[in-house]
Amino acid sequence: MTETADRWIGASVTRLEDLPLVTGRGRFAGDIDFPHQLHMRIVRSPYAHGRLKSVDAAAALAMNGVAAVWTAKDIADLPPIEFREGPNENLSPYRQAVLAAEWVRYVGEPVAAVFAEDAYVAEDAAECVFVNIDELEPVLDAAAAPTELRPGLGTESTVCRQGYGNVDTAFRDAHTIVELDVSIGRHSAVPLETRGAIGRYDAARDVLELHGAAKVPHRNRESLARMLGRSTGGVHLYEGHVGGGFGVRGEIYPEDVLVLVAALRLGRPVKWLEDRREHMIAANQSRQQRHRIRAAIDGDGRLMAIDDDFFHDQGAYLRTHGARVVDTTCGILPGPYRLPHYRVAGHVRMTNKTPCATYRSPGRFESNFARERLMDAIADKLGLSRIEVRRRNLIAASEMPFERPLVALGDDVVYDSGRYEALLDKALAHIGWDALQRDVASRRAAGEYVGLGVAIYVEKSGLGPTDGARINIHTSGEIEVITGGASIGQGFETVVAQVCAEMLGSDYRQVRVVHGRTDRIEYGIGAHATRATVMTANAAAVAAKKVRDKALDMAAQLLQADAADLDIVGGCVVRTGMIGGPAISLGDIAHHLRPTSSTRGERDPGLSAEGWFSTSHMTYPYGVQIAVAKIDKGTGAVRIEKLLIAYDIGRAINPMLVEGQLVGGFAQGLGGSLLEEFRYDERGQPLSVTFADYLLPTAQDVPFVDILLTEDAPSGVNPLGIKGAGEGGIAAAGAVIASAVDDALGASGTISHLPIMPQQLKMMIDAFEATGAAAASSGSG
């Protein structure tokens, strides 16, 4: 750890965020209280599908300390929760109402809201609200033939189609066709802090406040203001500490709307905290897809075409993202490979389960799994090694920037830079692939079920279009950076501070980074799609350059020098290269720039500036993951013995934090590959509602993750050359684990579903052992 540096960009400094968090002084949603607040508790549907006949709240209302009980009738003026990207006429019937009115469509759907003086009383009262529902047959299989949720409302809400070229001709001319049916289970972010929202109406200022906001506070302000018929000037969102985001937290859910409306109408602050069981049935779930995918291959193992028809289990409603996960899946599926012809149809299917939306690496965890399964199958079918078949198809560095006529997140797909084959070679050399292969082969010959897996993938990051930052240097010398970004625990403050410190010749610990506050800056897009560092750091760099110029200009007058001969070192403006010469601190320069300063001249007051960064395209980092997996013969349990993530980040602002993102992301991906699944019974009752049935990886489950971080392909679409790391660890976790487990079984193509369950492996191994078809029969290649 470098704590003193001339260059802050690239330094693995410790985080500015940490001190309050290790001393118990964080401010998470649960830690926020206002005087005279009420506590809200939601009454939820106990049925997956049904007709809501009546809600009887009389007993609850009669209880001491209960202030109100609301059903849909009480908020009939509120529209359903809207899509962030704006209205969509075709999809609007699938939006979720704040409280269910006539139908319930998943277990956990909010039916009534209880407001009480105390959280315990609210919970007691909620149990006394009687909900009368006629249960209906649930729809649970997204890949079955489409049907209707109710008359006129089909289960196929939309089909996302993308593609180019002539797929049918390619399949006709193909040397070989490889076809797979692969699927990914339903899992999600499951952050350690459940959701929370505190609504407060300040009548004195006519401002409605939402505390506990995260991820996209500014954009949510716009949506909420529209839904509530208020001006955005009268709605403010406040992000405190966020106990894990990963895509799930910070979206607008029914509870967020309810605390705001209740704060307005009941005239008291309203606090809601989700409990864990609620989180497991009410917060966004993700991932569940089934791909029927096939590839046309020429005689050399080169991809001619991919044709994919997939089914996305959306659950009961379309939430704030609309159909975005499916569209991203379509746009990113070809990954790092050259692909002359491509056709994909993603069916967004409604079911009677908890609604789905984004979870870290949405559309890529799924598509990387499907595509890399396909690459392994192609290798197997043609008798090529898994490395060789990938190598033959990788897009070459000379083809960059590489444009594909596809769209992901509303952005045309243009890979800005990449040296894919070079990274593959580095990864193979780093892990010692050849020796590892020999070792695995000999262990397998000795009867172990051990295997090697590989996956190559392209990530996306830095979603635009624009972000801003305003820098103000106080007379104390403190550098305040006000951003429209959001911090969800990823180290946002530290990296933005590092960039500003570098530009302003100051210590990063002199920088205070403000985020997630709609009352401090007008616009912001927030922290999602691995965009926060790329967008806000570049915006901060633009603002810092302006502040720097202004500081040098003012200092030039004070030091009677030419601004071109000045530099900022250690927080002071000095003559370039002159040690011990005249110096003036940034704080003093700010003092000279006060509105009342006589030395300010014609300059605008304040040592401050605003900077904006805009980009028309995302930036695409890429990676190679290699795993060694061992299956326990007796239990079927998989242990990942070795794991390498080779990842090109373009340019790392803080390598330690990048590695932290990659390791943590992989751990989550391991969960979705081996442990985690939201299961439902035949009536649509959720079976994974506690940490005893939904297993998060523990310290025992996660292997040591070796990181090979490279900076071979700086981004071509932003001045800092940076790319994102937030989702790079998880994106190919399912793909690489499946590849390794497959290899351990010595029977290619057996792993077609995630999560891979020990019971299933145990049965396979027992069958192998019984027939004598030992795993040793085929080698890893």
Nearest to residue 490, comparing CAs of 665, 613, 623, 621?
Answer: 665
509 binds other proteins (CB under 8 A): no
- The structure tokens listed for 707 are 């990181």
**Is the backbone peptide bond immediately before 217 cis, with ω within 30 degrees of 0?**
no
259 near other proteins, rule: CB under 8 A: no
Using the contact rule CB under 8 A, the part of the chain among 225-233, 378-386, 457-465, 655-663 near other proteins is 655-663
Q: Is 121 or 326 the residue whose CB approaches other proteins more closely? A: 121
Contact letters for other proteins, residues 263-302 (x by CB under 8 A) = ------------xx--------------------------
Binding mask 231-250 for other proteins (x = CB under 8 A): ----------xxxxxx----
**If DSSP codes are grouped into helix, strand and coil, which group holds residue 92?**
helix
CA distance 491 to 11: 13
Contact yes or no for 289/310 (Cβ under 8 A):
yes
Binding mask 145-184 for other proteins (x = CB under 8 A): ----------------------------------------
Residue 21: CB minimum distance to other proteins, A:
3
Question: What letter represents residue 218's amino acid?
Answer: H
In the complex with other proteins, which residue's Cβ is closer, 63 or 143?
A: 63
When asked if residue 1 is in the footprint of other proteins (CB under 8 A), the reply is yes
Quote the CA–CA distance of 349 and 142 in Å, as a whole number: 5
Positions 687 through 716 that interact with other proteins (CB under 8 A): 690-692, 696-702, 704-705
Q: Could you list the beta-strand ranges (E) of 268-337.
A: 270-273, 289-297, 303-315
Which range binds other proteins by CB under 8 A, 44-52, 142-150, 526-534, 665-673?
665-673
Measured from the CB atom, the residue of 212 and 334 that comes closer to other proteins is 212
- The footprint of other proteins on residues 7-36 (CB under 8 A) is 14-15, 17-19, 21-26, 28, 30-31
| 28 versus 34: smaller Cβ distance to other proteins | 28
The CA distance from 690 to 135, in Å, is 25
Distance CA 293, CA 749 (A): 13
Element housing 107 (H / E) = none
- Which strands sit side by side in the sheet containing 572-575, from one edge to the other? 566-569, 572-575, 583-585
* Residues 735 and 673: beta-carbon distance below 8 Å: no
* Least gap, CB of 191 to other proteins (angstroms): 6
Applying CB under 8 A, does 667 fall inside the site for other proteins? yes
φ, ψ of residue 431 to 5 degrees: the values are -90, -10
Residue 352 or 654 having the CB closest to other proteins: 654
Residue type at 11? A
Altogether, the residues listed in the chain come to a count of 781
Residue corresponding to tokens 């704006």? 86
- Cβ 734 vs Cβ 373: under 8 Å: no
Quickly count: other Cβ atoms within 10 Å of residue 317's Cβ.
21
Which of 241/324 has CB closer to other proteins? 241
* Residue count, binding to other proteins (CB under 8 A): 58
Please report how close the Cβ of residue 189 comes to other proteins at its closest, in angstroms: 8
* 660 scored as a contact of other proteins (CB under 8 A): yes
Which residue is associated with the tokens 């998989």?
638
Distance between CA atoms of residues 237 and 217, nearest Å: 6
The pair of structure tokens assigned to 197 is: 């929202």
Residue 409 Cβ, how far from other proteins at the closest point, in Å? 24
Q: Out of 155, 490, 739, 748, name the contact with other proteins by CB under 8 A.
A: 490
H-helix segments, 42-197: 58-61, 119-126, 167-173
- Cβ nearer to other proteins, comparing 117 with 610: 117
Among the listed residues 50, 163, 191, 254, the single contact to other proteins using CB under 8 A: 191
Beta pairing partners, 414: 403
* Least separation in angstroms between CB 16 and other proteins: 10
Nearer to other proteins, 153 or 696 (CB): 696
Among the candidate windows 71-79, 450-458, 488-496, 510-518, which touches other proteins by CB under 8 A? 488-496
314/642 Cα distance (integer angstroms): 34
Cis peptide leading into residue 686 (ω within 30°): no
Structure token digits, residue 315: 């659950």
Q: Does 127 bind other proteins (CB under 8 A)?
A: no
Structure tokens at 191: 């952050």
Q: Which is nearer to other proteins, 367 or 654 (CB)?
A: 654
Output DSSP code: residue 461. Answer: B
Residue 266: count other Cβ atoms within 10 Å of its Cβ. 17
Ranges within 72-111 binding other proteins (CB under 8 A): none
Residue 498 makes contact with other proteins by CB under 8 A: no
Can you tell me which of 422, 656, 709, 747 binds other proteins, judged by CB under 8 A? 656
Instruction: Provide the minimum distance between the beta carbon of 751 and other proteins in the complex, in angstroms, as a whole number.
Output: 23
List of residues contacting other proteins (CB under 8 A)? 1, 14-15, 17-19, 21-26, 28, 30-31, 120-121, 124, 189-194, 241-246, 275-276, 488-491, 656-657, 660, 663-668, 690-692, 696-702, 704-705, 729
